[in-house]
Chain A
Amino acid sequence: MRDLASIGAAGPRVDADLKITGAARYTTDFTLPRMLHAKVLRSPHAHARITSIDTARARALPGVGAVIARDDLKGLSSYGYFIKDQPIVALDKVRYIGDMVAAVAAESEEIAVRALRLIEVRYEPLATVATIEQALDPSAPALFETPASGIVPAYGPGASAVRDPAKNICYRFEYTTGDSANFADADHVFEDEFRFSRMQHYHLEPFVALARVEGGMIEVWSCCQNPFPLRKELARVFNHSEQNIRVHVPFIGAGYGAKNNCKAEPIAILLAKLAGRPVRFCMTQEENFLTQSQHAAILRFKTGVSSEGRLIARQSRIWLDAGAYSDASPLVAEKAGYRSNGPYRWQYVDNRCDCVMTNTTPAGPFRGFGNTQAGWASESQIDMIARRLGLDPVEMRKRNLLKLGEPYVPGESSIDSDMIEGLDLVCREIGYGRGERRRGHGIGVAIGFKDSGGVNKPAQAQVKATTTGGIILNCGAIEIGQGIQTALTRVAAEIFAAPVSRVSYSPVDTDNTPFDQGTNAGSGIVVMGKAIEMASRDCVRQVLDFAAGALKCRPQGLRLEDWSVIKDNQAHSLAPLIMREYGGTGFEFVGRGYFKAPTDHNAPLEAKCMSWEIGWGAVEVEVDEETGRVVLKKLVVSGDAGRAIHKDVCRGQDEGAAIMAVGQALFETMVYDGAELVNIAAAKYRVPLANDLPEILRTITQEQGHGPGPFGSKPTGESGILPVMPAIANAIEDAVGVRITSLPITPEKVLAALKAKQ
């Protein structure tokens, strides 16, 4: 690798000063003159028909600017990703406790809350389905009597999907490759069932939107990480032209997947339209819990293997708890189904993933996106199989891992990390196979595996250079905590041979920012990063062309260095040259970039995956056999950044994800009593705290150098969550010989398993 000045260099994140001084502004911090405040009336019933709504008393309350209920939605459409099933407020039915029924905008939140109490709603309760099993029961009521409109995208070889294959299943994705006869070649076939728990994202900044509707223009400040898809969806929902909708997205107070598509925005916009005044709708944390969650899942994995531990055939059946509206569930199902192979080579694969509708909080994207679920089952089962066959689980993995450069499946892109290298690394760090075995102590290893960079997503970018050499990035990548502003700034600085301090990052709004599909799926560095790289190179080329003209030479021999042009080892300051050429006023060079993985009908998802995000995890646990308590003595987590553009940022992504996973593994979960969420919000819901850290935590950023992003970089940020849960379960079996197949792994479950074993 050649020496790079900005890539991988020490130095703070570009958002550091704003964030450590309290000056960083988030959507929650924006206000407008004459702004009203919105509050929402939510359903107390999990499933009920609305027989009547009377909002007259609420509308008459002094200080109320607007009220919306179902009668106010005429001409407006419902929203969702593939399936448009979620109305702005409930129409005929409510489908979960917390479903939005009506909304009020008033001079203060207090008045809005008082007005909500004046709304009279009569319900006719219906039978509820609280779980996947209940939803699939033939006698269960249907959440949707008639299917909502929606689409099934085009898929390539082996992949397919259908809408509504059965009652309460809104989407089914299937992927198959190879010959099913291969199951007959297996010496052993193992069938195991796993349960995946459901976490809430717990982003500290709530769902929030500030809207104003004036002169036919809808303007909204939002914490949505995908402003352009949001604009498109709002245009459809409000039947409003895209050029008259403007979405601003400032810093986002994290999302972990949740800050997608319509959340607070439609309510704020509709109320603003009706009130003729700006409206702010900021949800409470309780409302976050009633708006979006991770997918709980049931996973049945059937795996055929040779006596020597060679993986041959796999059939996976996954049921995701989609909650009451489809949201992004079809996309999550697509990824869970597509990636159930894990990082291994197979003769035959037959994966199916269903989105099951239940009367609970709608589930949506969550860090790991389907692979948290699939990986929990797969990496648990691989370990179980190795132990059943008397094989070393790490050696068995190595025997089956896809190699660097080997396609994931036919038609798909190749693996861009050496997975054995990473596995050896974490094994060394945890001391795998070394040292004396101590009673109650065990070591577990797992590999998290997912495609990364999104599928078929375009990104455009613009890079400007001012007369005096200021570099201004203009692109739709949203800073949600992951450090994308820092990464893209460094990419541009490197290409301009300029210090990072000369680069600034424009605020994002859909009127002025080049188009982008969104900040998701680890696409920031491998998709937008390439667009920024291209725009930067385009801009530099224009500068050098200009300099060649000014210096009366060919551009080929010229290069940039801190806003001077170097010709024959002599530096020519650019600013005076530009001023002379452009009449003393100045000029801006504008570079443009665009990137999208090519559409490919031979790829199962219609475009090859950009990159593969691998998370290696190894853990040492101590299990107290009297209480069932599991203590993490040491946790090692590692990702491959390809080339680390900012080392702290890479570490932070993997480490933060790993601790989130520790919560999921051991204690954090949304607890439902029937269809009622019991541990809603902060006082009752337990997330990892500082003293939940493992005794030793080691996060290792690999730089294997094979990534498709700028300077060999790869995505990071989701892989860290993936290996931790199965590694802990594997370590527990290693320690005390019991296998826990459902999350979280509470002391009660461990103790019960230990008792059952005796």
Chain B
Amino acid sequence: MRMVDGMIAIRFKLNGDDRSISVAPNTNLADILRDEFGLTGTKIGCDQGVCGACTVLADGVPIASCTTFAWQCDGRVLLSIEGLAQDGKLDPLQEAFKTHSAFQCGYCTPGMILLAKALLDSNPAPDRHVIKDWMQSNICRCTGYQVIVEAIEHAARRRHEAGR
């Protein structure tokens, strides 16, 4: 990282592509994703790192992009909701959220799906209590969570069957 005229040049991998950009030190990741890269699937809800609508994965770890400085992502591998489907094929979690209607307004959904992906990538067969505990870091005001938990259980089974 180097600073030129108050701007920091950073590089990261975003949804599979190498990106480089100059950012102000106080610019947060969510704004970069939305305003610079047009990836508006990353939603800003509380803007305080609490609600989780802005969740993206950095090196596979869920982070609140609204309270992460963009420069903190230098050299990291980022995944936003737009990068989850591969070659037009939905991720098993996206499929499960679709078939279970595990969303309503949809504002929390990208964050929920990415949060769940991080869980299943690290723990492929979580039980219901583990899912509830993990998912409590994001807020859904619409669904009451139970369908989200069911969708994640379903996706875990599907991933297991697919040998992933």
Task: Show the binding face of A for B, using Cβ within 8 Å.
Answer: 12-13, 15-26, 28-29, 201-206, 251-254, 256, 284-285, 480-483, 646, 648-649, 651-652, 655-660, 681-683, 687-693, 697, 699
- Write out the residue numbers on chain A whose beta carbons fall within 8 Å of the beta carbon of B126: none
A253 to B99, Cβ gap below 8 A?
no
The answer to whether B78 has its CB under 8 Å from any CB of chain A is no
B46 to A690, Cβ gap below 8 A?
no
A204 to B107, Cβ gap below 8 A?
yes
- Minimum Cβ distance to chain A for residue B89 (Å): 11
- Write out the residue numbers on chain A whose beta carbons fall within 8 Å of the beta carbon of B139: 202, 204, 682, 687, 689
Interface of B is mostly: loop
Q: Which B residue's beta carbon lies closest to that of A15?
A: B106
A652 to B41, Cβ gap below 8 A?
no
- Write out the residue numbers on chain A whose beta carbons fall within 8 Å of the beta carbon of B135: 690
The answer to whether B97 has its CB under 8 Å from any CB of chain A is yes
Known: A254-B105, A483-B104, A690-B136. A20 touches B90 (CB 8 A): yes
- Minimum Cβ distance to chain B for residue A285 (Å): 5
Q: Which residues of B140-154 are within 8 A (CB) of A? A: 141-149
Known: A21-B94, A689-B136. A251 touches B148 (CB 8 A): no
Bound Cα distance A692, B149 (Å): 13
Tell which of B40, B46, B136, B149 touches A29, judged by Cβ atoms closer than 8 Å: B40
A659 to B105, Cβ gap below 8 A?
no
B145 to A659, Cβ gap below 8 A?
yes
- Minimum Cβ distance to chain B for residue A223 (Å): 10
- Write out the residue numbers on chain B whose beta carbons fall within 8 Å of the beta carbon of A25: 40
Q: Which A residue's beta carbon lies closest to that of B94?
A: A20
Q: Which residues of B92-113 are within 8 A (CB) of A? A: 94, 97-101, 103-110, 113
Known contacts A251-B106, A690-B145; 13 additional CB pairs below 8 A are A13-B103, A21-B81, A21-B85, A21-B94, A22-B82, A25-B40, A28-B43, A29-B40, A483-B104, A657-B144, A689-B136, A689-B139, A690-B131
The answer to whether B133 has its CB under 8 Å from any CB of chain A is yes
Bound Cα distance A665, B140 (Å): 18
Q: Which B residue's beta carbon lies closest to that of A203?
A: B141
- Write out the residue numbers on chain B whose beta carbons fall within 8 Å of the beta carbon of A656: 104, 141-144
Known: A204-B53, A691-B133. A18 touches B142 (CB 8 A): no
The answer to whether B80 has its CB under 8 Å from any CB of chain A is yes
Q: Which 3 A-B pairs have the closest CB atoms?
A: A22-B41, A481-B105, A659-B144
- Write out the residue numbers on chain B whose beta carbons fall within 8 Å of the beta carbon of A285: 45-48, 51
B46 to A682, Cβ gap below 8 A?
yes
- Write out the residue numbers on chain B whose beta carbons fall within 8 Å of the beta carbon of A482: 104
The answer to whether B118 has its CB under 8 Å from any CB of chain A is no
Q: Which B residue's beta carbon lies closest to that of A656?
A: B144
Bound Cα distance A201, B48 (Å): 17
Interface string of B61-103 (1 = CB under 8 A from A): 0000000000000000000111011000010001001111101
A682 to B98, Cβ gap below 8 A?
no
- Minimum Cβ distance to chain B for residue A487 (Å): 12
Bound Cα distance A697, B51 (Å): 23
- Minimum Cβ distance to chain B for residue A723 (Å): 15
B145 to A28, Cβ gap below 8 A?
no
- Write out the residue numbers on chain B whose beta carbons fall within 8 Å of the beta carbon of A483: 101, 104
The answer to whether B39 has its CB under 8 Å from any CB of chain A is yes
- Write out the residue numbers on chain A whose beta carbons fall within 8 Å of the beta carbon of B45: 204-206, 253, 285, 682
- Write out the residue numbers on chain A whose beta carbons fall within 8 Å of the beta carbon of B28: none
Bound Cα distance A659, B143 (Å): 8
- Minimum Cβ distance to chain B for residue A248 (Å): 16
B43 to A205, Cβ gap below 8 A?
yes
Bound Cα distance A12, B99 (Å): 6
Bound Cα distance A690, B142 (Å): 12
Bound Cα distance A17, B106 (Å): 10
Q: Which A residue's beta carbon lies closest to that of B34?
A: A29
B105 to A252, Cβ gap below 8 A?
yes
B109 to A19, Cβ gap below 8 A?
yes
Bound Cα distance A205, B50 (Å): 14
Known: A659-B144, A697-B146. A253 touches B105 (CB 8 A): yes
- Write out the residue numbers on chain A whose beta carbons fall within 8 Å of the beta carbon of B148: 690
- Minimum Cβ distance to chain A for residue B34 (Å): 8
A682 to B48, Cβ gap below 8 A?
yes
B94 to A253, Cβ gap below 8 A?
no
B132 to A22, Cβ gap below 8 A?
no
A204 to B43, Cβ gap below 8 A?
yes
- Write out the residue numbers on chain A whose beta carbons fall within 8 Å of the beta carbon of B85: 21
Query: Can you sample 12 A-B contacts with CB below 8 Å?
Result: A20-B109, A28-B44, A29-B34, A29-B40, A203-B105, A253-B107, A483-B101, A483-B104, A687-B139, A688-B145, A690-B136, A691-B133
Tell which of B41, B98, B141 touches A12, judged by Cβ atoms closer than 8 Å: B98
Q: Which A residue's beta carbon lies closest to that of B139?
A: A687
Bound Cα distance A658, B143 (Å): 9
Tell which of B40, B47, B50 touches A22, judged by Cβ atoms closer than 8 Å: B40
Q: Which A residue's beta carbon lies closest to that of B131?
A: A690
- Write out the residue numbers on chain A whose beta carbons fall within 8 Å of the beta carbon of B108: 204
- Minimum Cβ distance to chain A for residue B46 (Å): 3
- Minimum Cβ distance to chain A for residue B149 (Å): 7
A691 to B136, Cβ gap below 8 A?
yes
B43 to A253, Cβ gap below 8 A?
yes
Q: Which B residue's beta carbon lies closest to that of A24?
A: B106
- Minimum Cβ distance to chain A for residue B153 (Å): 13
B81 to A682, Cβ gap below 8 A?
no
